[in-house]
């Protein structure tokens, strides 16, 4: 027995609308699309126009090339901006990657940043429907390209773009001390890409931090594969907001998921939290049950390892 998949036929007025959208994307000179993407899109359009001339039905599958086209149009500008933000500080320079010699206990150099093609491929392959839905509902989604490296290196990058003083406790935090004690290499060993909530001020929650975190972990968003922003992601986001002339979380706090002190320390069950004000930038860590807040925000993050 032969099974034939049902094909969804597209109505004529919708065909015209989709063709106009595809042709508009191809005529957009502000975004340079990869040659292979252009080739597949043009071939897809040619096949559709050929079927229309023969008065043949057009199906959803005929427009499969549009998904790739739309991903490229959306991500390429965000990728370029994120890469510029990395190079603008002291975090990553593709022309001159940081190197370590045997004298520093580590031999090698920074792992090269992913190409835009690799980024789009990873996002398309790994983002779930639920995660895409959460990103779409973010008030101000910000695309990040995050190197996997030490907290100290992110902090140095933030200082390089930041005219606002960073709290002394933060600069000499246990995050950096524990990284050194654990002999964590300062080289970039990998990369993550994705979206974080970049709204300047989010609606916050009040109460005991330990209870608020338990409430978050039981919630629907956490079950969709969405996490809270990490301290290193927060510093990238803070650096970008400073370049725009403001700081996120002015006078309030954001919960930061462990990516430094509490992971390296192992038995340390502390949670991190950060804030920006006109006078100072803070990053702190504490045992959740010991902390109560009038207002603290939970910023979502959807990041994919490459």
Render pLDDT for 90-134 as a digit per residue (tens, 0 to 9).
Answer: 688 877 777 664 445 556 788 999 999 999 999 999 999 999 999
User: Residue 125: what pLDDT?
Assistant: 95
pLDDT, tens digit, 9 for 90 and up, residues 19-35: 999 999 888 888 889 99
Q: Six-digit token pair at 86?
A: 């990395």
- Is 243 or 194 the better-scoring residue by pLDDT? 194
User: Residue 262: what pLDDT?
Assistant: 40
- Is 68 or 265 the better-scoring residue by pLDDT? 68
Q: Which of the residue ranges 45-49, 92-96, 229-233 would you say has the lowest mean pLDDT?
A: 92-96
Please state, rounded to an integer, the average pLDDT across all residues of the chain: 80
Say if residue 233's pLDDT is above 70.
yes
Domain ranges of the chain: 12-63, 75-305
Say if residue 46's pLDDT is above 90.
yes
């Amino acid at each position: 027995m032969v099974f034939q998949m049902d094909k969804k036929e597209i109505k004529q007025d919708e065909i015209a609308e989709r063709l106009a959208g595809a042709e508009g994307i191809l005529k957009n000179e502000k975004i340079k699309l990869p040659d292979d993407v252009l080739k597949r899109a043009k071939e897809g359009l040619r096949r559709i126009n050929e079927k229309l001339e023969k008065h043949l039905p057009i199906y959803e599958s005929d427009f499969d090339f549009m998904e790739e086209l739309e991903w490229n149009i959306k991500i390429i500008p965000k990728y370029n901006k994120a890469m510029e933000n990395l190079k603008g500080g002291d975090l990553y320079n593709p022309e001159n990657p940081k190197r370590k010699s045997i004298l520093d206990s580590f031999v090698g150099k920074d792992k090269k940043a992913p190409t835009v093609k690799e980024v789009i491929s990873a996002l398309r392959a790994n983002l779930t429907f639920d995660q895409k839905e959460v990103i779409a509902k973010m008030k101000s989604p910000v695309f990040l390209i995050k190197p996997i490296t030490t907290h100290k290196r992110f902090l140095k990058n933030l200082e390089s773009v930041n005219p606002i003083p960073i709290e002394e406790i933060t600069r000499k935090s246990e995050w950096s001390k524990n990284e050194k004690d654990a002999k964590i290499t300062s080289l970039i060993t990998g990369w993550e890409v994705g979206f974080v909530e970049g709204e300047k001020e989010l609606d916050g929650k009040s109460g005991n931090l330990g209870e608020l975190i338990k409430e978050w972990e039981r919630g629907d968003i956490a079950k969709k594969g969405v996490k809270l922003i990490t301290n290193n992601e927060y510093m990238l986001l803070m650096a970008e907001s400073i370049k725009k002339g403001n700081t996120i979380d002015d006078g309030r706090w954001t919960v930061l998921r462990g990516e430094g002190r509490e992971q390296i320390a192992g038995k340390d069950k502390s949670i991190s939290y950060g804030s920006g004000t006109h006078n100072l930038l803070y990053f702190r860590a504490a045992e959740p049950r010991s902390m109560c807040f009038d207002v603290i925000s939970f910023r979502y993050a959807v990041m994919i390892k490459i």
